[in-house]
Amino acid sequence: MNDQTLTPEERVANLKGMGSSRKRVEDVRFTQGKGNYVDDIKMDGMLFGAFVRSPYAHARVVSVNKEAALAIPGVVAVLTAEDLAPLGLHWMPTLAGDKQMVLADGKVLFQGQEVAYVVAENRYIAADAAELVEVDYEELPVLTDPFEALKSDVVLREDLAGQTEGAHGPRKHHNHIFTWEQGDKDATEAVLGEADVVAEEMVYYHRTHPCPLETCGCVASMDKVTGKLTLYGTFQAPHAIRTVVSLISGLAEHNIRVISPDIGGGFGNKVGAYAGYVCSVVASIVTGQPVKWVENRMENLMSTAFARDYWMQGKIAATKDGKITGLWCHTTADHGGFDACADPTKFPAGFMNICTGSYDIPTAYLAVDGVYTNKAPGGVAYRCSFRVTEAAYFIERMIEVLAIKLNMDAAELRRINFIKADQFPYQSALGWEYDSGDYHTAWDKALKAVDYEGLRAEQAQRIEDFKAGKTRKLLGIGLTHFTEIVGAGPVKNCDILGLGMFDSCEIRIHPTGSAIARLGTISQGQGHATTFAQIIASEIGLPADDITLEEGDTDTAPYGLGTYGSRSTPVAGAATAMAARKIRAKAQMIAAYLLEVHDNDVEWDVDRFAVKGAPERFKTMKEIAFAAYNQAIPGLEPGLEAVSYYDPPNMTYPFGAYICVMEIDVDTGEWDVRQFYALDDCGTRINPMIIEGQVHGGVTEALAIAMGQEIAYDEMGNVKTATLMDFFLPTAWETPNYTTDHTVTPSPHHPIGAKGVGESPNVGGVPAFSNAVHDAFRPFGLVQSHMPHDHWRIWKIANGLGMHG
């Protein structure tokens, strides 16, 4: 493989850089059972923690009796709020500016809430002892409906009684958390008043749960000799966890090392801080031994970060030809017992103000009211990009509802309202600047790919056949064009607990021309070790296979805000490119020195610097790396490494066109996805195969959410769906085939033009599936029906429309 004999194309291919479908390097260990997850960590003298949880959704805790539990051999301690209170750790701050009980302090507010923490020699003893902790409860009235909660005399958060100001402004009622308003209310109401047509609808996006295959857990290990705490855990934001642990425990931050080992799926579930982390740290400090805590499936579904639960009342105004003139939305957000949403500080409803979607809507208004109920806390999770899932579902349903009102084709209604390619950068009525897009091209490509007109003709025939009694199956065509907003974010508007949301990358080139890069993000399955090495490969001309990538150890990685909101590519990906460019700049000086020409007389060519006009005179990056360690230019520091902390100037706005074709049996309510076409535009594509995998996974989660998955409560506040028997998690059996496609509209402000993609398929997928169900029944009079569209609910739609004779 002599460098002289290879063509430039061969040299590019050897790098396996950007644009190549490089195989995932992580999979070597994952497919051989060699992953290293939290529960794989074993340490000498390690103890195990288990929670006693409340069976009631709302109750006073009259007493907790630990005696029977402590009597079991092998039980080391039983912690309650009383034990944590002297340390000030019985409550903890949430990411949303609220506070949350670590262990029940006088009362419980949701079923599954942590009441006591048992520490024992092994998991089995801890579980047995948890059963023996006697808790005396006095039941209180339960509020599971946020609209009821806002009217009820029952005070859920007694600790906040009388507080009329919350973290996000005035509170209107004792169960009210915040009101968040965006846009121009008066102007929007004026537009609604004058419009030819106004469609109005309540769009509910039900409560669900990210349900990663690996549940949440940690191992806390306090070394009393060195004073150093090591905390292993399923953390999507290890540095932020280190800072939070330092702030709430009082331990110096340099004495805390947080390590996220391999993570078996996060999906937003592993962003927040949980009682289990605090209790494990306290238990390890108290006992001087490592303490492990790992949730079981029921605990995960009942008590850790839920997703959605947004009631969105909408009004959309248009001219009689279908040009949208205004959008109005009032959302009632059910946050459960504590506001533990993981949003950037200034955005209590996340980026829901992207709810004007892909459309040029001149006037808009959004208000969100957060409400306490007797449900689990959490909020932002599950491939959501900070409530963009809700926003996209809302606007994509409102478009369909408007199309019905106008008696128009929904594809055409979208087309005439899209923001046009020449309008970018586009200023939205609710305050965002969309960086780039070409929606018409994507839309036309999608409609053509599925033969949209042919499908509509087939559907018309099907309706006739149905009415003639020849078939009992309807055909639905679900359309969606979504606009995402990912890459939080500019530090000037986005912080979490005061930590600006930049991200980072540090690259060190070894003398022999291989490298290690460390980032402030952490992969949970997204394949960062594969893709970020590809960015570096293309930027500095060393093969991706020679670049190790490391994330998740706060003692070695530069500070970063972690992986969620599809921010890794837009923010850490940009930092990676910038750090690589610093290395290349130094390499250029070294090359010029070695070639005995001026710095400006060499030019970059794939993997080398060559003398301008004399390409046969060059130094490869590999040669330059060696030289950096032994032939440094006089006066220049030896070595070849760089770090970049990147504060993005704007977020990125990926988009996509999704179309779902679904058959529905009106007698059984069964559905069958015949075709699913997903066109994504995430700007420059780093690894097409990984993008396809992200889309497959995200659309499958969207299928789950739209078609059956939910966290449902009964009127007593019991969780009805806390096992995988009741909580729909699709397997290969339910998962349809997907066709993926793309267009490429680079982000103008990102160093390599890349936008995020991880959350797009969920943002676009849910409305595509839901719109398909609605579209099938549209000719028979259905306007709006709440998700999830399980067989029973679909059967009820058919029944309600008189289809069962």
Q: Which of 402, 410, 496, 691 binds ligand MCN (CB under 6 A)?
A: 691
> Least distance in Å: CB of 639 to ligand MCN?
27
> Least distance in Å: CB of 759 to ligand CUM?
6
Q: Which is nearer to ligand MCN, 112 or 565 (CB)?
A: 565
Q: Which amino acid is at 719?
A: V
Q: Which is nearer to ligand MCN, 75 or 533 (CB)?
A: 533
The residues binding ligand CUM (CB under 6 A) are 236, 266-268, 271, 380-384, 564-565
Q: What is the DSSP letter of 196?
A: S
Q: Which of 53, 157, 397, 567 binds ligand MCN (CB under 6 A)?
A: 567
Q: Which is nearer to ligand MCN, 283 or 341 (CB)?
A: 341
Which H or E element spans position 449?
helix 439-449
Phi/psi of residue 662, nearest 5 degrees: -130, 140
Binding of residue 568 to ligand MCN (CB under 6 A): yes
Residue 756 touches which member of ligand MCN, ligand CUM, none, C-beta under 5-8 Å by kind:
ligand MCN
Residue 99 vs residues 84, 96, 110, 209: alpha-carbon distances, Å: 15, 8, 15, 22
**Of 608-647, which residues contact ligand MCN (CB under 6 A)?**
none
> Least distance in Å: CB of 384 to ligand CUM?
3
Binding of residue 267 to ligand MCN (CB under 6 A): yes
- Give CA 187 to chain center in angstroms: 33
User: Near ligand MCN by CB under 6 A, which window of 2-10, 33-41, 248-256, 260-268?
Assistant: 260-268
Residues 495-524 as x/- pattern, contact with ligand MCN by CB under 6 A? -----------------------------x
Residues 765-779 as b or e (16 or more Cβ within 10 Å = b): bbbbbbbbbbbbbbe
Q: Which is nearer to ligand CUM, 235 or 382 (CB)?
A: 382
Question: Checking DSSP bridges between strand 602-605 and strand 291-294, what pairing results, if any?
Answer: unpaired
Residues 411-450 as x/- pattern, contact with ligand MCN by CB under 6 A? ----------------------------------------
Q: How many residues does the chain have?
A: 805
Q: Would you please indicate which residues are annotated as catalytic (active-site) residues?
A: 236, 383-384, 759
Of the candidates 515, 507, 512, the residue with the CA atom closest to the CA atom of residue 547: 515
Q: Which is nearer to ligand CUM, 564 or 677 (CB)?
A: 564
> Least distance in Å: CB of 115 to ligand CUM?
28
CA distance 719 to 729: 17
CA distance 606 to 580: 14
Burial class (CB in 10 A: 0-12, 13-18, 19+), 502: buried
Binding of residue 687 to ligand MCN (CB under 6 A): yes
Q: Which is nearer to ligand MCN, 52 or 699 (CB)?
A: 699
Angle between helices 275-287 and 238-249 (to 10 degrees): 60
Residue 17 touches which member of ligand MCN, ligand CUM, none, C-beta under 5-8 Å by kind:
none
Binding of residue 77 to ligand MCN (CB under 6 A): no
> Least distance in Å: CB of 359 to ligand MCN?
24
Of the candidates 369, 391, 387, the residue with the CA atom closest to the CA atom of residue 378: 387
Binding of residue 459 to ligand MCN (CB under 6 A): no
> Least distance in Å: CB of 791 to ligand MCN?
28
Question: Checking DSSP bridges between strand 739-742 and strand 671-681, what pairing results, if any?
Answer: parallel
CA distance 473 to 230: 58
Residue 754 touches which member of ligand CUM, ligand MCN, none, C-beta under 5-8 Å by kind:
ligand MCN
Binding of residue 569 to ligand MCN (CB under 6 A): yes
- Residue pair 738/675 in contact (Cβ under 8 Å)? The answer is no
Binding of residue 374 to ligand MCN (CB under 6 A): no
Query: Shortest Cβ contact with ligand CUM: which residue?
Result: 268
Angle between helices 760-777 and 688-707 (to 10 degrees): 40
β-bridge partners, 605: 608
Q: Which is nearer to ligand MCN, 16 or 176 (CB)?
A: 16
Question: Checking DSSP bridges between strand 473-483 and strand 75-79, what pairing results, if any?
Answer: unpaired
The DSSP annotation for 286-354 comes to: HHSS-EEEE--HHHHHHHS-EEEEEEEEEEEEE-TT--EEEEEEEEEEE-TTS------TT-TTTTGGG
Binding of residue 531 to ligand MCN (CB under 6 A): yes
Binding of residue 410 to ligand MCN (CB under 6 A): no
Residue 531 touches which member of ligand CUM, ligand MCN, none, C-beta under 5-8 Å by kind:
ligand MCN
> Least distance in Å: CB of 27 to ligand MCN?
11
Q: How many CB atoms lie within 10 A of CB 161?
A: 9
- Residue pair 39/108 in contact (Cβ under 8 Å)? The answer is no
Residues 286-323 as b or e (16 or more Cβ within 10 Å = b): bbebbbbbbbeebbbbbbbbbbbbbbbbbbbbbeeebb
Residue 380 touches which member of ligand MCN, ligand CUM, none, C-beta under 5-8 Å by kind:
ligand CUM
**Of 187-246, which residues contact ligand MCN (CB under 6 A)?**
212
> Least distance in Å: CB of 659 to ligand MCN?
22
> Least distance in Å: CB of 565 to ligand CUM?
4
Residue 206 touches which member of ligand CUM, ligand MCN, none, C-beta under 5-8 Å by kind:
none
Residues 706-745 as x/- pattern, contact with ligand MCN by CB under 6 A? ----------------------------------------
Residue 686 touches which member of ligand CUM, ligand MCN, none, C-beta under 5-8 Å by kind:
ligand MCN
Q: Which of 290, 683, 717, 765 binds ligand MCN (CB under 6 A)?
A: 683
Cα angle 488, 494, 495 (rounded to 5 degrees) comes to 115
CA distance 608 to 170: 60
Binding of residue 566 to ligand MCN (CB under 6 A): yes
Binding of residue 680 to ligand MCN (CB under 6 A): no
Give long-range contacts, CB 8 A cutoff, 24+ apart: 461-466. Answer: 463/779
- Residue pair 569/530 in contact (Cβ under 8 Å)? The answer is no
Q: Which residues bind ligand MCN (CB under 6 A)?
A: 212, 265-268, 383, 524-528, 531, 563-569, 682-687, 690-691, 694, 697, 754-759
